[in-house]
């Protein structure tokens, strides 16, 4: 079997167009645009590059973007007071605090200052709790939300399916597992202490990899006909590869996200969608 490629690049382009149209309608109706504030302390290269991508995609969709790039030695109190100010600022719809934060800044203190209503990256415990319960107006972290959108837009039925998620981080693995559960999949979560990872993976009609280990999962660990969502971003000899060994997996799976061009392009788009959603909720709450 040769798998269908789940093309994240094409889906992201479609969704960018949809969001740009919704932003134009929002602006027409409310007289302002949904805007994100991205805050970082220090110049971590991955954070710098991600912020650049966010700026590009938000501006292309007609959304607002403001970068607060603080020096590496910024005291915690200053970061916290900026997050508090942005949380109150009417022109800021969403806030994203980039990690890693420098060692003198406690991420918990920053989270405590962040308004859950503007937490478009879905990292605040209030959003994580609501996501776990599957109730209320929560923001799901952009990466797993993108994985779910990929499944939904390809019409992949989840109800009653066995889903195996490899990875249990708060930002990818765990929220993905709960999002799948809310769609009535039967979910197993694997991690570094899972015994016989291959046997557990082979149970999955849907197999999700969120590990950060190049090609950890190969075709022999995949159930024939499974749908494979690979969130992994790893570099091997300068080439970006996933957590799944694409070539052997594509021989067994019925559909698979490539790396690159799979789940990656959707992360940005889901951040845009969350920011638009935040702006809409803030307008509704102010009435
Ligand atoms: P973390 O390092 O926070 O979590 C990795 C998880 O993988 C942990 O739960 C860990 O288990 C588990 N793990 C590690 N080794 C093994 C193993 N040998 N077998 C089974 N499980 C294992 O990573 P993230 O969740 O932040 O990111 C995961 C991947 O997704 C990375 O490659 C990252 O670059 C990528 N990513 C991609 C994005 C995108 O837009 N596509 C966005 C964000 C991340 P334990 O808990 O026991 O330590």
Regarding whether 90 and 200 lie in a shared domain, the answer is no
Q: Residue 180 pLDDT more than 80? A: yes
Give the 3-state secondary structure of residue 202.
coil
> Could you tell me if the CB of 169 is within 6 A of ligand 1?
yes
Q: In ligand 1, which atom is closest to the CA atom of 216? A: 18
pLDDT of residue 174: 98
Query: Which amino acid residue places its CA nearest to atom 37 of ligand 1?
Result: 231
Domain membership flag for residue 44: yes
pLDDT confidence tier of residue 109, bands split at 50, 70 and 90? very high
pLDDT confidence tier of residue 1, bands split at 50, 70 and 90? low
> Could you tell me if the CB of 267 is within 6 A of ligand 1?
yes
Domain membership flag for residue 283: no
Mean pLDDT of 104-129: 97
Q: Residue 147 pLDDT more than 90? A: yes
How many domains is the chain built from?
A: 2
pLDDT tens, residue by residue, 134-143: 999 999 999 9
- 29 by Cβ neighbours in 10 Å (0-12 / 13-18 / 19+) ranks as exposed
pTM over 0.85? The answer is yes
Q: Name, in order, each residue with C-beta under 8 angstroms of 68's C-beta and a sequence gap of 6 or more.
A: 37, 38, 39, 40, 82, 86
pLDDT confidence tier of residue 11, bands split at 50, 70 and 90? very high
Q: Residue 24 pLDDT more than 80? A: yes
Q: Which of 144, 176, 210 to mutate to test the pocket of ligand 1 (most atoms within 8 A of CB)?
A: 210
Mean pLDDT of 212-216: 98
> Could you tell me if the CB of 154 is within 6 A of ligand 1?
no
Q: In ligand 1, which atom is closest to the CA atom of 212? A: 32
CA of 281 to the centre of ligand 1 (A): 31
Last residue of a domain, one of 71, 97, 114: 114
Residue 47 is part of a domain; what is its CATH number? 3.40.50.10860
Domain membership flag for residue 208: yes
pLDDT of residue 285: 92
Domain membership flag for residue 15: no
Q: In ligand 1, which atom is closest to the CA atom of 232? A: 32
Q: In ligand 1, which atom is closest to the CA atom of 242? A: 32
CA of 270 to the centre of ligand 1 (A): 19
Chain mean pLDDT for the chain: 97
Mean pLDDT of 210-214: 98
Regarding whether 202 and 160 lie in a shared domain, the answer is yes
pLDDT confidence tier of residue 287, bands split at 50, 70 and 90? confident
Give the phi and the psi of residue 3 in degrees, each rounded to 5: -70, 150
pLDDT of residue 2: 87
Q: What percent of the chain has pLDDT over 90?
A: 99
> Could you tell me if the CB of 167 is within 6 A of ligand 1?
yes
Q: Residue 146 pLDDT more than 70? A: yes
CA separation for the pair 8, 270 (Å, rounded): 12
Domain membership flag for residue 268: no
Domain membership flag for residue 132: no
pLDDT of residue 244: 98
Is the bond into 195 cis (omega within 30 degrees of 0)? no
> Could you tell me if the CB of 168 is within 6 A of ligand 1?
yes
CA separation for the pair 111, 214 (Å, rounded): 31
Query: Which amino acid residue places its CA nearest to atom 8 of ligand 1?
Result: 167
Domain membership flag for residue 49: yes
pLDDT tens, residue by residue, 53-63: 999 999 999 99
CA of 63 to the centre of ligand 1 (A): 30
pLDDT tens, residue by residue, 48-104: 999 999 999 999 999 999 999 999 999 999 999 999 999 999 999 999 999 999 999
Domain membership flag for residue 271: no
CA of 176 to the centre of ligand 1 (A): 12
Residue 204 is part of a domain; what is its CATH number? 3.40.50.720
Q: In ligand 1, which atom is closest to the CA atom of 267? A: 40
> Could you tell me if the CB of 193 is within 6 A of ligand 1?
yes
| Domain span at 62 | 31-114
With contact defined as beta carbons under 8 Å apart, do 18 and 271 qualify?
Answer: no
């Amino acid at each position: 079997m040769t798998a269908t490629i789940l093309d994240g690049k094409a889906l992201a382009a479609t969704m960018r167009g949809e969001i740009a149209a919704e932003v134009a309608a929002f602006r027409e109706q409310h007289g302002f645009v949904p805007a994100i504030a991205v805050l970082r302390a220090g110049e971590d290269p991955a954070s710098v590059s991600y912020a650049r991508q966010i700026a590009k995609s938000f501006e292309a969709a007609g959304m607002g973007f403001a970068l607060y790039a603080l020096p590496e030695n910024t005291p915690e109190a200053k970061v916290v007071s900026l997050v508090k100010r942005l949380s109150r600022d009417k022109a800021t719809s969403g806030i994203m605090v980039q990690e890693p934060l420098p060692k003198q800044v406690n991420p918990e203190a920053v989270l405590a200052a962040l308004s859950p209503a503007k937490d478009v990256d879905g990292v605040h415990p209030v959003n994580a709790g609501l996501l776990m319960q599957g109730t209320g107006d929560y923001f799901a972290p952009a990466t797993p939300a993108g994985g779910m959108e990929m499944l939904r837009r390809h019409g992949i039925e989840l109800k009653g399916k066995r889903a195996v998620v490899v990875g249990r981080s708060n930002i990818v693995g765990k929220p993905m597992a709960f999002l799948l559960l809310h769609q009535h999949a039967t979910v197993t979560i694997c991690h570094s202490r899972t015994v016989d990872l291959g046997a557990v993976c082979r149970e999955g009609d849907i197999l999700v990899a969120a590990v950060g280990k190049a090609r950890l999962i190969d075709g022999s660990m995949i159930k024939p006909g499974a749908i494979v969502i690979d969130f992994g971003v790893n570099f091997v000899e300068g080439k970006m590869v996933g957590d799944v060994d694409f070539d052997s997996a594509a021989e067994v799976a019925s559909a698979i996200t490539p790396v690159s061009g799979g789940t990656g392009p959707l992360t940005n788009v889901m951040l845009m969608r969350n920011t638009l959603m935040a702006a809409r909720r803030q307008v509704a709450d102010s009435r």
